[in-house]
DNA sequence: TGTACATCAGTGAACGCGCGTTCACTGATGTAC
DNA sequence: TGTACATCAGTGAACGCGCGTTCACTGATGTAC
Protein backbone atom coordinates (compact mmCIF):
# COMPACT_ATOMS: atom_id res chain seq x y z
CA UNK A 1 0.00 0.00 0.00
CA UNK A 2 1.46 3.25 -1.13
CA UNK A 3 1.48 6.36 1.03
CA UNK A 4 -0.81 9.14 0.00
CA UNK A 5 0.60 12.61 -0.28
CA UNK A 6 -1.20 13.47 2.93
CA UNK A 7 0.31 10.51 4.82
CA UNK A 8 3.76 11.41 3.55
CA UNK A 9 3.40 15.00 4.62
CA UNK A 10 2.12 13.92 8.00
CA UNK A 11 5.16 11.70 8.50
CA UNK A 12 7.45 14.55 7.52
CA UNK A 13 5.78 16.87 9.98
CA UNK A 14 6.10 14.33 12.79
CA UNK A 15 9.78 13.98 12.05
CA UNK A 16 10.20 17.73 11.96
CA UNK A 17 8.53 18.06 15.36
CA UNK A 18 10.82 15.43 16.81
CA UNK A 19 13.92 16.98 15.30
CA UNK A 20 13.06 20.39 16.70
CA UNK A 21 12.25 18.88 20.09
CA UNK A 22 15.69 17.27 20.15
CA UNK A 23 17.32 20.51 19.18
CA UNK A 24 15.53 22.44 21.88
CA UNK A 25 16.47 19.84 24.48
CA UNK A 26 20.09 20.21 23.47
CA UNK A 27 19.86 23.84 24.55
CA UNK A 28 17.47 23.74 27.48
CA UNK A 29 17.89 20.23 28.83
CA UNK A 30 15.59 17.24 28.59
CA UNK A 31 13.54 17.95 31.69
CA UNK A 32 12.08 21.26 30.57
CA UNK A 33 11.00 20.45 27.02
CA UNK A 34 7.84 22.39 26.21
CA UNK A 35 5.42 22.56 23.33
CA UNK A 36 5.28 26.29 22.69
CA UNK A 37 8.88 26.79 21.57
CA UNK A 38 8.53 23.81 19.24
CA UNK A 39 5.52 25.45 17.63
CA UNK A 40 7.32 28.79 17.42
CA UNK A 41 10.31 27.18 15.72
CA UNK A 42 7.97 25.61 13.16
CA UNK A 43 6.09 28.88 12.62
CA UNK A 44 2.95 27.09 13.59
CA UNK A 45 0.40 27.67 16.32
CA UNK A 46 0.83 25.52 19.42
CA UNK A 47 -2.40 23.71 18.84
CA UNK A 48 -1.26 22.48 15.48
CA UNK A 49 1.12 20.16 17.33
CA UNK A 50 -1.76 18.43 19.04
CA UNK A 51 -2.81 17.00 15.67
CA UNK A 52 0.39 14.94 15.82
CA UNK A 53 0.88 14.18 19.49
CA UNK A 54 -1.93 13.84 21.97
CA UNK A 55 0.08 15.78 24.56
CA UNK A 56 3.58 16.53 25.71
CA UNK A 57 4.03 13.11 27.30
CA UNK A 58 3.16 11.34 24.07
CA UNK A 59 5.89 13.31 22.33
CA UNK A 60 8.39 12.33 25.02
CA UNK A 61 7.41 8.69 24.73
CA UNK A 62 7.90 8.77 20.96
CA UNK A 63 11.33 10.35 21.35
CA UNK A 64 12.43 7.82 23.95
CA UNK A 65 11.24 4.88 21.89
CA UNK A 66 13.09 6.25 18.86
CA UNK A 67 16.24 6.61 20.90
CA UNK A 68 16.31 3.09 22.25
CA UNK A 69 15.67 1.71 18.80
CA UNK A 70 18.32 3.88 17.16
CA UNK A 71 20.82 2.75 19.77
CA UNK A 72 19.96 -0.90 19.20
CA UNK A 73 20.22 -0.31 15.43
CA UNK A 74 23.69 1.14 15.86
CA UNK A 75 24.79 -1.84 17.93
CA UNK A 76 23.33 -4.44 15.60
CA UNK A 77 24.87 -2.66 12.69
CA UNK A 78 28.30 -2.67 14.34
CA UNK A 79 28.00 -6.38 15.00
CA UNK A 80 26.88 -7.24 11.48
CA UNK A 81 29.34 -5.05 9.63
CA UNK A 82 32.40 -6.23 11.53
CA UNK A 83 34.51 -7.99 8.94
CA UNK A 84 35.92 -10.62 11.28
CA UNK A 85 33.81 -13.59 12.36
CA UNK A 86 35.48 -13.55 15.76
CA UNK A 87 32.81 -12.80 18.38
CA UNK A 88 35.45 -11.01 20.45
CA UNK A 89 36.04 -8.57 17.61
CA UNK A 90 32.31 -8.22 17.14
CA UNK A 91 31.78 -7.52 20.84
CA UNK A 92 34.52 -4.91 20.76
CA UNK A 93 32.85 -3.22 17.80
CA UNK A 94 29.47 -3.29 19.53
CA UNK A 95 30.79 -1.74 22.74
CA UNK A 96 32.61 0.97 20.84
CA UNK A 97 29.44 1.66 18.85
CA UNK A 98 27.49 2.00 22.08
CA UNK A 99 29.62 4.88 23.27
CA UNK A 100 29.80 6.42 19.83
CA UNK A 101 26.06 6.57 19.68
CA UNK A 102 25.90 8.18 23.12
CA UNK A 103 28.54 10.79 22.30
CA UNK A 104 26.99 11.58 18.94
CA UNK A 105 23.51 11.84 20.49
CA UNK A 106 24.19 13.21 23.96
CA UNK A 107 20.71 14.59 24.47
CA UNK A 108 19.03 11.42 23.33
CA UNK A 109 21.20 9.37 25.65
CA UNK A 110 20.43 11.78 28.46
CA UNK A 111 16.72 11.54 27.79
CA UNK A 112 16.88 7.77 28.14
CA UNK A 113 19.37 7.41 30.96
CA UNK A 114 19.54 10.75 32.73
CA UNK A 115 17.31 12.33 35.32
CA UNK A 116 13.70 11.26 35.18
CA UNK A 117 11.40 13.99 33.91
CA UNK A 118 9.14 15.29 36.69
CA UNK A 119 5.60 14.12 36.24
CA UNK A 120 6.44 11.76 33.40
CA UNK A 121 7.00 8.04 33.38
CA UNK A 122 7.83 6.17 30.19
CA UNK A 123 5.38 3.31 29.57
CA UNK A 124 7.31 0.04 30.05
CA UNK A 125 5.51 -1.74 27.21
CA UNK A 126 7.24 0.74 24.88
CA UNK A 127 10.66 0.96 26.46
CA UNK A 128 11.35 -2.55 27.75
CA UNK A 129 11.36 -4.35 24.38
CA UNK A 130 13.56 -1.60 22.91
CA UNK A 131 16.04 -1.88 25.77
CA UNK A 132 16.06 -5.66 25.55
CA UNK A 133 16.98 -5.40 21.87
CA UNK A 134 20.31 -3.71 22.55
CA UNK A 135 21.03 -5.88 25.54
CA UNK A 136 20.52 -8.98 23.43
CA UNK A 137 23.21 -7.88 20.99
CA UNK A 138 25.90 -7.80 23.67
CA UNK A 139 24.78 -10.81 25.62
CA UNK A 140 24.53 -13.00 22.52
CA UNK A 141 28.16 -12.33 21.71
CA UNK A 142 29.28 -12.90 25.30
CA UNK A 143 27.49 -16.24 25.35
CA UNK A 144 29.17 -17.24 22.10
CA UNK A 145 32.57 -16.25 23.46
CA UNK A 146 32.03 -18.36 26.56
CA UNK A 147 30.66 -21.37 24.69
CA UNK A 148 33.50 -21.40 22.22
CA UNK A 149 36.04 -21.22 25.02
CA UNK A 150 37.42 -17.88 23.83
CA UNK A 151 37.43 -16.61 27.39
CA UNK A 152 38.75 -18.35 30.48
CA UNK A 153 37.50 -16.30 33.43
CA UNK A 154 39.77 -16.25 36.48
CA UNK A 155 38.59 -18.14 39.58
CA UNK A 156 37.09 -15.12 41.31
CA UNK A 157 35.06 -14.29 38.24
CA UNK A 158 33.99 -17.62 36.71
CA UNK A 159 30.65 -17.79 38.50
CA UNK A 160 27.77 -15.54 39.47
CA UNK A 161 28.31 -14.37 43.08
CA UNK A 162 25.89 -16.40 45.22
CA UNK A 163 23.83 -13.43 46.50
CA UNK A 164 23.03 -12.50 42.91
CA UNK A 165 22.09 -15.94 41.61
CA UNK A 166 18.42 -15.61 42.46
CA UNK A 167 17.97 -12.22 40.79
CA UNK A 168 19.83 -13.24 37.66
CA UNK A 169 17.76 -16.42 37.47
CA UNK A 170 14.51 -14.48 37.77
CA UNK A 171 15.57 -12.06 35.05
CA UNK A 172 16.46 -14.88 32.66
CA UNK A 173 13.06 -16.45 33.20
CA UNK A 174 11.21 -13.16 32.79
CA UNK A 175 12.75 -12.32 29.44
CA UNK A 176 12.88 -15.94 28.29
CA UNK A 177 16.25 -15.47 26.68
CA UNK A 178 18.19 -18.77 26.53
CA UNK A 179 21.57 -17.74 27.84
CA UNK A 180 23.75 -18.78 30.73
CA UNK A 181 23.53 -16.86 34.02
CA UNK A 182 27.23 -16.07 33.77
CA UNK A 183 26.77 -14.44 30.36
CA UNK A 184 24.02 -12.23 31.77
CA UNK A 185 26.17 -11.37 34.77
CA UNK A 186 29.06 -10.38 32.53
CA UNK A 187 26.72 -8.29 30.41
CA UNK A 188 25.33 -6.42 33.40
CA UNK A 189 28.81 -5.87 34.78
CA UNK A 190 30.07 -4.51 31.50
CA UNK A 191 27.01 -2.36 31.05
CA UNK A 192 27.27 -0.72 34.44
CA UNK A 193 31.01 -0.14 34.14
CA UNK A 194 30.82 1.46 30.72
CA UNK A 195 27.69 3.36 31.64
CA UNK A 196 29.70 5.22 34.27
CA UNK A 197 32.41 6.16 31.80
CA UNK A 198 29.84 7.52 29.36
CA UNK A 199 27.85 9.44 31.95
CA UNK A 200 30.93 11.10 33.41
CA UNK A 201 32.09 12.04 29.93
CA UNK A 202 28.65 13.31 28.89
CA UNK A 203 28.43 15.69 31.82
CA UNK A 204 32.08 16.75 31.58
CA UNK A 205 33.11 15.35 34.93
CA UNK A 206 35.99 13.21 33.74
CA UNK A 207 37.57 15.58 31.26
CA UNK A 208 39.76 17.37 33.84
CA UNK A 209 41.46 14.04 34.57
CA UNK A 210 41.46 12.41 31.16
CA UNK A 211 42.34 14.26 27.99
CA UNK A 212 41.58 11.62 25.42
CA UNK A 213 38.24 10.20 26.44
CA UNK A 214 37.98 7.96 23.38
CA UNK A 215 41.25 6.26 24.33
CA UNK A 216 40.07 6.07 27.93
CA UNK A 217 36.85 4.33 26.95
CA UNK A 218 38.74 1.90 24.76
CA UNK A 219 41.10 1.14 27.63
CA UNK A 220 38.07 0.40 29.80
CA UNK A 221 36.62 -1.91 27.18
CA UNK A 222 39.90 -3.78 26.95
CA UNK A 223 40.07 -4.08 30.73
CA UNK A 224 36.56 -5.47 30.72
CA UNK A 225 37.49 -8.21 28.27
CA UNK A 226 40.82 -8.99 29.94
CA UNK A 227 39.06 -9.37 33.24
CA UNK A 228 36.63 -11.82 31.67
CA UNK A 229 39.68 -13.84 30.65
CA UNK A 230 39.52 -13.03 26.95
CA UNK A 231 42.87 -13.15 25.18
CA UNK A 232 43.25 -10.02 23.09
CA UNK A 233 45.80 -9.68 20.29
CA UNK B 1 33.15 34.77 69.52
CA UNK B 2 29.73 33.58 70.50
CA UNK B 3 26.79 33.63 68.16
CA UNK B 4 24.11 36.15 68.89
CA UNK B 5 20.54 34.96 69.04
CA UNK B 6 19.99 36.64 65.70
CA UNK B 7 22.92 34.86 64.06
CA UNK B 8 21.75 31.55 65.44
CA UNK B 9 18.25 32.06 64.16
CA UNK B 10 19.60 33.08 60.78
CA UNK B 11 21.63 29.89 60.56
CA UNK B 12 18.59 27.83 61.49
CA UNK B 13 16.51 29.50 58.80
CA UNK B 14 19.18 28.88 56.17
CA UNK B 15 19.25 25.22 57.12
CA UNK B 16 15.48 25.05 57.02
CA UNK B 17 15.44 26.55 53.53
CA UNK B 18 18.01 24.01 52.34
CA UNK B 19 16.17 21.11 53.93
CA UNK B 20 12.90 22.11 52.29
CA UNK B 21 14.64 22.63 48.96
CA UNK B 22 16.04 19.09 49.18
CA UNK B 23 12.64 17.72 50.05
CA UNK B 24 10.98 19.50 47.13
CA UNK B 25 13.65 18.25 44.75
CA UNK B 26 12.99 14.71 45.92
CA UNK B 27 9.45 15.12 44.63
CA UNK B 28 9.86 17.33 41.59
CA UNK B 29 13.40 16.60 40.46
CA UNK B 30 16.51 18.71 40.74
CA UNK B 31 16.10 20.63 37.51
CA UNK B 32 12.84 22.37 38.37
CA UNK B 33 13.53 23.60 41.88
CA UNK B 34 11.76 26.91 42.42
CA UNK B 35 11.59 29.50 45.17
CA UNK B 36 7.85 29.91 45.57
CA UNK B 37 7.07 26.40 46.84
CA UNK B 38 9.92 26.69 49.34
CA UNK B 39 8.40 29.90 50.68
CA UNK B 40 4.95 28.32 50.78
CA UNK B 41 6.26 25.33 52.72
CA UNK B 42 7.83 27.70 55.24
CA UNK B 43 4.66 29.82 55.50
CA UNK B 44 6.71 32.77 54.46
CA UNK B 45 6.46 35.19 51.58
CA UNK B 46 8.73 34.47 48.64
CA UNK B 47 10.71 37.61 49.15
CA UNK B 48 11.69 36.58 52.64
CA UNK B 49 13.94 33.96 51.05
CA UNK B 50 15.95 36.63 49.30
CA UNK B 51 17.26 37.77 52.68
CA UNK B 52 19.11 34.44 52.82
CA UNK B 53 20.05 33.70 49.24
CA UNK B 54 20.69 36.33 46.63
CA UNK B 55 18.78 34.34 44.06
CA UNK B 56 17.88 30.81 43.07
CA UNK B 57 21.32 30.06 41.67
CA UNK B 58 22.98 30.99 44.96
CA UNK B 59 20.74 28.49 46.72
CA UNK B 60 21.69 25.79 44.22
CA UNK B 61 25.37 26.54 44.67
CA UNK B 62 25.05 26.27 48.45
CA UNK B 63 23.27 22.93 48.14
CA UNK B 64 25.86 21.53 45.74
CA UNK B 65 28.77 22.65 47.92
CA UNK B 66 27.12 21.05 50.96
CA UNK B 67 26.66 17.82 49.04
CA UNK B 68 30.23 17.46 47.91
CA UNK B 69 31.46 18.19 51.40
CA UNK B 70 29.04 15.78 53.04
CA UNK B 71 30.14 13.08 50.63
CA UNK B 72 33.81 13.74 51.37
CA UNK B 73 33.00 13.71 55.10
CA UNK B 74 31.36 10.32 54.76
CA UNK B 75 34.35 8.92 52.92
CA UNK B 76 36.94 10.34 55.31
CA UNK B 77 34.90 9.09 58.18
CA UNK B 78 34.77 5.57 56.70
CA UNK B 79 38.53 5.60 56.25
CA UNK B 80 39.27 6.85 59.74
CA UNK B 81 36.84 4.65 61.59
CA UNK B 82 37.91 1.41 59.90
CA UNK B 83 39.37 -0.68 62.69
CA UNK B 84 42.03 -2.37 60.58
CA UNK B 85 45.18 -0.51 59.56
CA UNK B 86 45.22 -2.35 56.26
CA UNK B 87 44.79 0.23 53.47
CA UNK B 88 42.93 -2.40 51.43
CA UNK B 89 40.31 -2.68 54.16
CA UNK B 90 40.18 1.08 54.42
CA UNK B 91 39.71 1.44 50.68
CA UNK B 92 36.92 -1.13 50.75
CA UNK B 93 35.20 0.82 53.52
CA UNK B 94 35.58 4.09 51.63
CA UNK B 95 34.12 2.70 48.41
CA UNK B 96 31.19 1.15 50.26
CA UNK B 97 30.62 4.46 52.04
CA UNK B 98 30.58 6.25 48.70
CA UNK B 99 27.63 4.25 47.46
CA UNK B 100 25.90 4.35 50.82
CA UNK B 101 25.98 8.10 50.77
CA UNK B 102 24.57 8.17 47.25
CA UNK B 103 21.75 5.76 48.04
CA UNK B 104 20.88 7.54 51.27
CA UNK B 105 20.94 10.94 49.54
CA UNK B 106 19.71 10.15 46.04
CA UNK B 107 18.59 13.68 45.27
CA UNK B 108 21.80 15.22 46.49
CA UNK B 109 23.83 12.80 44.41
CA UNK B 110 21.61 13.57 41.44
CA UNK B 111 22.07 17.29 41.92
CA UNK B 112 25.84 16.87 41.79
CA UNK B 113 26.19 14.21 39.13
CA UNK B 114 22.93 14.14 37.19
CA UNK B 115 21.64 16.34 34.41
CA UNK B 116 22.93 19.87 34.43
CA UNK B 117 20.31 22.42 35.41
CA UNK B 118 19.31 24.58 32.46
CA UNK B 119 20.70 28.08 32.78
CA UNK B 120 22.83 27.23 35.80
CA UNK B 121 26.50 26.44 36.07
CA UNK B 122 28.14 25.68 39.40
CA UNK B 123 31.12 27.97 40.03
CA UNK B 124 34.29 25.81 39.84
CA UNK B 125 36.01 27.65 42.69
CA UNK B 126 33.32 26.21 44.96
CA UNK B 127 32.95 22.72 43.56
CA UNK B 128 36.45 21.74 42.49
CA UNK B 129 38.08 21.79 45.96
CA UNK B 130 35.12 19.85 47.39
CA UNK B 131 35.38 17.21 44.67
CA UNK B 132 39.13 16.97 45.09
CA UNK B 133 38.64 16.26 48.80
CA UNK B 134 36.76 13.03 48.20
CA UNK B 135 39.03 12.00 45.36
CA UNK B 136 42.04 12.44 47.60
CA UNK B 137 40.64 9.95 50.11
CA UNK B 138 40.53 7.14 47.57
CA UNK B 139 43.70 7.94 45.72
CA UNK B 140 45.74 8.22 48.93
CA UNK B 141 44.79 4.69 49.89
CA UNK B 142 45.48 3.36 46.40
CA UNK B 143 48.92 4.93 46.44
CA UNK B 144 49.65 3.36 49.81
CA UNK B 145 48.49 -0.05 48.58
CA UNK B 146 50.80 0.20 45.57
CA UNK B 147 53.78 1.48 47.53
CA UNK B 148 53.50 -1.23 50.15
CA UNK B 149 53.29 -3.88 47.47
CA UNK B 150 49.82 -5.00 48.55
CA UNK B 151 48.74 -5.11 44.92
CA UNK B 152 50.54 -6.70 42.01
CA UNK B 153 48.75 -5.50 38.90
CA UNK B 154 48.69 -7.93 35.96
CA UNK B 155 50.83 -7.05 32.92
CA UNK B 156 48.00 -5.45 30.93
CA UNK B 157 47.15 -3.19 33.86
CA UNK B 158 50.45 -2.25 35.51
CA UNK B 159 50.95 0.96 33.56
CA UNK B 160 48.94 3.92 32.31
CA UNK B 161 47.93 3.26 28.69
CA UNK B 162 50.21 5.44 26.53
CA UNK B 163 47.46 7.60 24.98
CA UNK B 164 46.41 8.64 28.49
CA UNK B 165 49.83 9.44 29.93
CA UNK B 166 49.79 13.07 28.86
CA UNK B 167 46.36 13.82 30.32
CA UNK B 168 47.09 12.07 33.60
CA UNK B 169 50.37 13.95 33.86
CA UNK B 170 48.68 17.29 33.28
CA UNK B 171 46.07 16.53 35.92
CA UNK B 172 48.68 15.61 38.50
CA UNK B 173 50.50 18.86 37.89
CA UNK B 174 47.32 20.93 38.01
CA UNK B 175 46.22 19.62 41.37
CA UNK B 176 49.74 19.34 42.74
CA UNK B 177 48.97 16.08 44.48
CA UNK B 178 52.12 13.97 44.91
CA UNK B 179 50.96 10.60 43.72
CA UNK B 180 51.99 8.19 40.99
CA UNK B 181 50.26 8.36 37.61
CA UNK B 182 49.21 4.73 38.01
CA UNK B 183 47.43 5.49 41.29
CA UNK B 184 45.48 8.28 39.63
CA UNK B 185 44.65 6.04 36.70
CA UNK B 186 43.34 3.35 39.04
CA UNK B 187 41.33 5.93 40.92
CA UNK B 188 39.70 7.26 37.77
CA UNK B 189 38.98 3.76 36.53
CA UNK B 190 37.38 2.76 39.79
CA UNK B 191 35.42 5.97 39.97
CA UNK B 192 33.94 5.64 36.50
CA UNK B 193 33.10 1.96 36.97
CA UNK B 194 31.35 2.43 40.29
CA UNK B 195 29.69 5.61 39.10
CA UNK B 196 27.85 3.59 36.48
CA UNK B 197 26.60 1.10 39.02
CA UNK B 198 25.28 3.87 41.25
CA UNK B 199 23.65 5.84 38.46
CA UNK B 200 21.86 2.79 37.08
CA UNK B 201 20.65 1.90 40.55
CA UNK B 202 19.57 5.46 41.34
CA UNK B 203 17.37 5.66 38.27
CA UNK B 204 16.06 2.11 38.64
CA UNK B 205 17.57 0.81 35.43
CA UNK B 206 19.45 -2.12 36.88
CA UNK B 207 16.85 -3.42 39.31
CA UNK B 208 15.04 -5.63 36.75
CA UNK B 209 18.28 -7.58 36.29
CA UNK B 210 19.74 -7.47 39.79
CA UNK B 211 17.67 -8.08 42.89
CA UNK B 212 20.22 -7.34 45.56
CA UNK B 213 21.92 -4.16 44.45
CA UNK B 214 24.01 -3.87 47.61
CA UNK B 215 25.54 -7.28 46.93
CA UNK B 216 25.99 -6.33 43.30
CA UNK B 217 27.88 -3.17 44.20
CA UNK B 218 30.08 -5.10 46.60
CA UNK B 219 30.83 -7.65 43.90
CA UNK B 220 31.87 -4.80 41.63
CA UNK B 221 34.13 -3.35 44.30
CA UNK B 222 35.76 -6.74 44.79
CA UNK B 223 36.26 -7.12 41.04
CA UNK B 224 37.86 -3.73 40.96
CA UNK B 225 40.40 -4.69 43.59
CA UNK B 226 41.03 -8.15 42.15
CA UNK B 227 41.73 -6.60 38.78
CA UNK B 228 44.25 -4.25 40.35
CA UNK B 229 46.01 -7.34 41.65
CA UNK B 230 45.00 -6.95 45.27
CA UNK B 231 44.81 -10.18 47.21
CA UNK B 232 41.56 -10.26 49.14
CA UNK B 233 40.93 -12.61 52.06
C1' DT C 1 -14.95 14.45 -15.26
C1' DG C 2 -17.82 16.97 -11.74
C1' DT C 3 -19.77 17.58 -7.47
C1' DA C 4 -21.14 16.84 -2.59
C1' DC C 5 -19.33 15.55 1.47
C1' DA C 6 -16.08 13.85 5.00
C1' DT C 7 -11.77 14.18 6.85
C1' DC C 8 -7.73 16.40 8.03
C1' DA C 9 -4.40 20.51 9.03
C1' DG C 10 -3.96 24.35 11.23
C1' DT C 11 -5.67 28.90 13.72
C1' DG C 12 -6.34 32.07 17.59
C1' DA C 13 -8.34 33.48 21.72
C1' DA C 14 -8.79 32.25 26.30
C1' DC C 15 -8.25 29.83 30.98
C1' DG C 16 -5.83 29.08 35.03
C1' DC C 17 -1.67 28.37 36.51
C1' DG C 18 3.42 29.02 38.02
C1' DC C 19 7.82 31.42 37.63
C1' DG C 20 11.98 34.88 39.37
C1' DT C 21 12.57 39.21 40.65
C1' DT C 22 11.56 44.57 41.46
C1' DC C 23 10.06 47.78 44.62
C1' DA C 24 8.56 50.35 48.61
C1' DC C 25 7.04 49.13 52.97
C1' DT C 26 6.40 47.68 58.30
C1' DG C 27 7.71 45.89 62.47
C1' DA C 28 11.06 43.51 65.39
C1' DT C 29 15.70 43.04 67.26
C1' DG C 30 20.09 44.65 68.59
C1' DT C 31 23.61 48.48 69.70
C1' DA C 32 25.81 52.88 71.27
C1' DC C 33 25.71 56.34 74.36
C1' DT D 1 18.82 51.57 83.03
C1' DG D 2 16.71 54.39 79.20
C1' DT D 3 16.49 56.04 74.81
C1' DA D 4 17.62 57.06 69.94
C1' DC D 5 19.04 54.96 66.10
C1' DA D 6 20.71 51.37 62.85
C1' DT D 7 20.20 47.00 61.21
C1' DC D 8 17.76 43.05 60.07
C1' DA D 9 13.50 39.94 59.00
C1' DG D 10 9.76 39.65 56.61
C1' DT D 11 5.49 41.48 53.77
C1' DG D 12 2.58 42.14 49.70
C1' DA D 13 1.54 43.98 45.38
C1' DA D 14 3.05 44.12 40.86
C1' DC D 15 5.68 43.16 36.36
C1' DG D 16 6.47 40.50 32.50
C1' DC D 17 6.99 36.20 31.28
C1' DG D 18 6.08 31.09 30.01
C1' DC D 19 3.39 26.88 30.50
C1' DG D 20 -0.27 22.85 28.80
C1' DT D 21 -4.55 22.45 27.33
C1' DT D 22 -9.79 23.75 26.16
C1' DC D 23 -12.71 25.26 22.73
C1' DA D 24 -14.98 26.68 18.53
C1' DC D 25 -13.43 27.85 14.18
C1' DT D 26 -11.66 28.11 8.93
C1' DG D 27 -9.76 26.45 4.94
C1' DA D 28 -7.44 22.78 2.33
C1' DT D 29 -7.16 18.00 0.77
C1' DG D 30 -9.00 13.65 -0.38
C1' DT D 31 -13.01 10.31 -1.48
C1' DA D 32 -17.44 8.31 -3.13
C1' DC D 33 -20.69 8.44 -6.45
HSE-CB at A87 with a 13 A cutoff on CA atoms is 16
Give the Cα separation of A187 and B163 in Å (integer).
27
**Which sign, positive or negative, has the C-alpha torsion A206, A207, A209, A211?**
positive
- Over residues A205-215, the mean pLDDT reads 96
Instruction: Characterize B11-33 residue by residue with b for buried, 16 or more Cβ atoms within 10 angstroms of its Cβ, and e for exposed.
Output: eebeeebbebbbebbeeebbbbb
Question: DSSP string of A95-144?
Answer: HHHHHHHHHHSHHHHHHHHSSPPTT----HHHHHHHHHHHHHHHHHHHHH
- Over residues B32-43, the mean pLDDT reads 96
Q: Is the pLDDT of residue B110 over 80?
A: yes
Residues of B in contact with A116 (CB under 8 A): 29, 203
| A 9-68: CB within 7 Å of strand C | 9-10, 13, 43-48, 51
Average pLDDT, chain A: 95
pLDDT for the residue numbered B232: 74
Give the Cα separation of A139 and B116 in Å (integer).
32
- Over residues A65-71, the mean pLDDT reads 97
When pLDDT is cut at 50, 70 and 90, the band that residue B175 belongs to is confident
Instruction: Kindly state the greatest CA–CA separation across chain B.
Output: 64
The secondary structure of residue A230, as a DSSP letter, is B
Compute the radius of gyration of chain B from its Cα atoms.
20
- Over residues A87-94, the mean pLDDT reads 98
Share of chain A above pLDDT 70, in %: 98
**Residue A108 Cα to chain centre, angstroms:** 9
When pLDDT is cut at 50, 70 and 90, the band that residue A175 belongs to is confident
When pLDDT is cut at 50, 70 and 90, the band that residue B167 belongs to is very high
Q: Is the pLDDT of residue A3 over 90?
A: no
When pLDDT is cut at 50, 70 and 90, the band that residue A2 belongs to is low
Whether the CB-CB separation of A61 and A123 falls below 8 Å is answered with yes
What's the start-to-end Cα distance of chain B, in Å? 51
- Over residues A43-60, the mean pLDDT reads 96
Give the Cα separation of A57 and A65 in Å (integer).
12
- Over residues A22-30, the mean pLDDT reads 96
Whether the CB-CB separation of B122 and B130 falls below 8 Å is answered with no
**Burial tier of B102 (Cβ tally within 10 Å: 0-12, 13-18, 19+):** buried
Give the Cα separation of A49 and B192 in Å (integer).
41
Contacts for B191 with CB less than 8 Å, ≥ 6 apart: A196, A200, B135, B138
pLDDT for the residue numbered A74: 98
pLDDT for the residue numbered B2: 60
B5 touches strand C (CB under 7 A): yes
Closest CA to B196 of B127, B102, B61, B116: B102
Q: What is the number of CB-based contacts under 8 A between chain A and chain B?
A: 158
Q: Is the pLDDT of residue B1 over 60?
A: no
A6 touches strand C (CB under 7 A): yes
- The CA-atom distances, in angstroms, between B87 and each of A29, B160, B177, B186 are 42, 22, 19, 15
Residues of A in contact with B107 (CB under 8 A): none
Q: Is the pLDDT of residue A18 over 60?
A: yes
**Could you report the per-residue pLDDT of A118-143, keeping only the tens digit for each?**
999 999 998 888 889 999 999 999 99
B156 touches strand C (CB under 7 A): no
Q: Is the pLDDT of residue A1 over 60?
A: no
pLDDT for the residue numbered B233: 67
- Over residues A199-210, the mean pLDDT reads 96
Judged by CB atoms closer than 8 Å, whether chains meet at A167 and B210 is answered as: yes
- The CA-atom distances, in angstroms, between A229 and each of A100, A149, A153, B34, B232 are 25, 10, 4, 51, 19
Residues of B in contact with A111 (CB under 8 A): none
B40 CA to D24 C1' distance (Å): 38
Whether the CB-CB separation of A38 and A21 falls below 8 Å is answered with yes
Among B64, B174, B205, B209, most A C-beta atoms within 10 A, so best to mutate, is B209
Judged by CB atoms closer than 8 Å, whether chains meet at A115 and B114 is answered as: yes
**Could you report the per-residue pLDDT of B21-37, keeping only the tens digit for each?**
999 999 999 999 999 99
Give the Cα separation of B163 and B37 in Å (integer).
50
pLDDT for the residue numbered B62: 97
* Phi, psi for A151 (deg, rounded to 5): -135, 135
B22 touches strand C (CB under 7 A): no
pLDDT for the residue numbered A75: 98
Chain A nearest C-alpha distance from B1 (Å): 40
**Which sign, positive or negative, has the C-alpha torsion A41, A42, A43, A44?**
negative
Give the Cα separation of A122 and A58 in Å (integer).
9
Whether the CB-CB separation of B132 and B68 falls below 8 Å is answered with no
Residues of B in contact with A212 (CB under 8 A): 163-164, 166-167
Which helix H or strand E contains A171, and what residues bound it?
Answer: helix A162-175
Residues contacting nucleic strand D by the 7 Å CB criterion are A 4-6, 33-37, 46-47, 50, 55-57; B 6, 9-10, 13, 43-48, 51
Q: Is the pLDDT of residue B231 over 90?
A: no
B174 touches strand C (CB under 7 A): no
pLDDT for the residue numbered B73: 98
**Could you report the per-residue pLDDT of A219-233, keeping only the tens digit for each?**
999 999 999 999 876
- The CA-atom distances, in angstroms, between A91 and each of A134, A158, A213, B99 are 12, 19, 20, 29
Which helix H or strand E contains A48, and what residues bound it?
Answer: helix A46-49
pLDDT for the residue numbered A7: 86
Helix, strand, coil share (%) of chain B residues, nearest 5: 75, 0, 25
Average pLDDT, chain B: 95
pLDDT for the residue numbered B5: 79
- Over residues A74-83, the mean pLDDT reads 97
| B 43-72: CB within 7 Å of strand C | 46-47, 50, 55-57
Q: pTM surpassing 0.75?
A: yes
Amino acid sequence: MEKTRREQKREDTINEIKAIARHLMSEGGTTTLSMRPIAAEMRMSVMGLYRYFENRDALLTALIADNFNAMADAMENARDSERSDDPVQKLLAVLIAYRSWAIEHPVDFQLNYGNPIPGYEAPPEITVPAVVRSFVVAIGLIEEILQRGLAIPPPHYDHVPPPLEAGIGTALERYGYPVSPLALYFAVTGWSQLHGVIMLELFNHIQPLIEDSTAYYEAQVHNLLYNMGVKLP
